[in-house]
A and B are shown apart, each in its own frame.
Chain A
């Protein structure tokens, strides 16, 4: 079962790195959109919106943490996904289903499906058992394909959520 452990270890790590990295870049590039979404959550006082850049900064730091620890330390990413999940849940409970989730791409209103998606990402950042020796080239190829599949699945899920709202 060592191969499966390796595949999970690297796939979860790389997927989170790419998703968080792209999310941070997207937030910096379309900052207006992101600030609008952030304000929509009504969790921060308006004055605090001025330091919106702290969110993409934390995402970048989470990426750096995972990369430098070679996938073993994922705490910042875990905290961020927990925070996002909580923010969405709070607004769903408030009955504000119409607000944009700020996920980037096509506008997507928040939903329980998004909470579920976040839970999967959260599971990916849960500290994985570090597998023993035995990473081979074949396993590496399997990891590459699996990471590609995970990212594609993430994009598909996001698009389905965006479509469902139209």
Chain B
């Protein structure tokens, strides 16, 4: 009797194993198709004024310490302009990410903000350990770069042209800016147009 039970159990288990193996195979196929279909996550570029490849608007501005700083124009290395505001929670959560990405990619990082009083920005910069970076309080820069939504980032090439730009909501978006730099594609929209065949 026990032998019969064990045989039955064994038969059922084999059926289960085979079924599960087939299921795992089917799932892996579906996963592969999913990867093909989902375009790379990236910063969404919505900017009516500037396109990748345009010259970055050149501006002379004072930073929080009162030192003069030039935004745009030729410089030694890539420059990442990070637009934020004090009342934007995502901007705050991205601060450590921006710093680590900028350090890893060895680019100059400039924070640009507007609204609120100078004192509040100083306290903010101090509280988040941003004293090491240039921090600009200016509405004019945001206007010149047509920044509509925050957090926003613009990557400027050493020659003074815009490599890429877009809304950045997470680390993937930020890193996609540098991927854009590396592969020479301006925006994720451009990439999808050129590389991804849409399913009909």
Nearest CB in chain A to that of B33: its residue: A164
Does residue A18 face the partner (Cβ distance < 8 Å to B)? no
Given A142-B12, A146-B12, A149-B16, the answer on whether A160 and B23 have CB atoms closer than 8 Å is: yes
Total residues of chain A contacting the partner, CB 8 A = 19
Does residue B11 face the partner (Cβ distance < 8 Å to A)? yes
B interface, over-half SS: helix
Does residue A49 face the partner (Cβ distance < 8 Å to B)? no
Q: Are B5 and A142 in contact (CB under 8 A)?
A: yes
Q: Are B8 and A3 in contact (CB under 8 A)?
A: yes
Does residue B86 face the partner (Cβ distance < 8 Å to A)? no
Given A156-B23, A160-B26, A160-B30, the answer on whether A3 and B12 have CB atoms closer than 8 Å is: no
Q: Are B7 and A3 in contact (CB under 8 A)?
A: yes
Does residue A138 face the partner (Cβ distance < 8 Å to B)? yes
Nearest CB in chain A to that of B12: its residue: A146
Does residue B27 face the partner (Cβ distance < 8 Å to A)? yes
Nearest CB in chain B to that of A6: its residue: B8
Q: Are A160 and B11 in contact (CB under 8 A)?
A: no
Q: Closest Cβ of chain A: how far from B24's Cβ, in Å?
A: 11
A interface, over-half SS: helix
Q: Are A164 and B30 in contact (CB under 8 A)?
A: yes
Q: Are B5 and A1 in contact (CB under 8 A)?
A: no
From A142, A149, A153, A156, give the contact of B8 (CB < 8 A). Answer: A142
Given A160-B27, A163-B30, A164-B30, the answer on whether A134 and B7 have CB atoms closer than 8 Å is: no
- Chain B contacts of A149 at CB under 8 A? 12, 16
Q: Closest Cβ of chain B: how far from A166's Cβ, in Å?
A: 9
- Chain B contacts of A6 at CB under 8 A? 8
Does residue A136 face the partner (Cβ distance < 8 Å to B)? yes
- Chain B contacts of A118 at CB under 8 A? none
- Chain B contacts of A145 at CB under 8 A? 12
Q: Are B8 and A7 in contact (CB under 8 A)?
A: yes
**Residues 63-87 of A at the B interface (beta carbon under 8 Å):** none
Does residue B200 face the partner (Cβ distance < 8 Å to A)? no
Q: Closest Cβ of chain B: how far from A161's Cβ, in Å?
A: 10
Does residue B88 face the partner (Cβ distance < 8 Å to A)? no
**Residues 1-50 of B at the A interface (beta carbon under 8 Å):** 1, 4-5, 7-9, 11-12, 16, 19, 23, 26-27, 30
14 residue pairs A–B, Cβ–Cβ below 8 Å: A1-B7, A3-B1, A3-B7, A3-B8, A4-B4, A4-B8, A7-B8, A7-B12, A134-B1, A139-B8, A146-B12, A160-B23, A160-B26, A160-B27
Additional 10 contacts, C-beta under 8 A, given A6-B8, A142-B8: A1-B4, A2-B4, A3-B8, A134-B1, A136-B5, A138-B5, A139-B5, A145-B12, A160-B23, A160-B30
Give me the 4 closest cross-chain CB pairs, A-B, nearest first: A3-B8, A4-B8, A3-B4, A3-B5
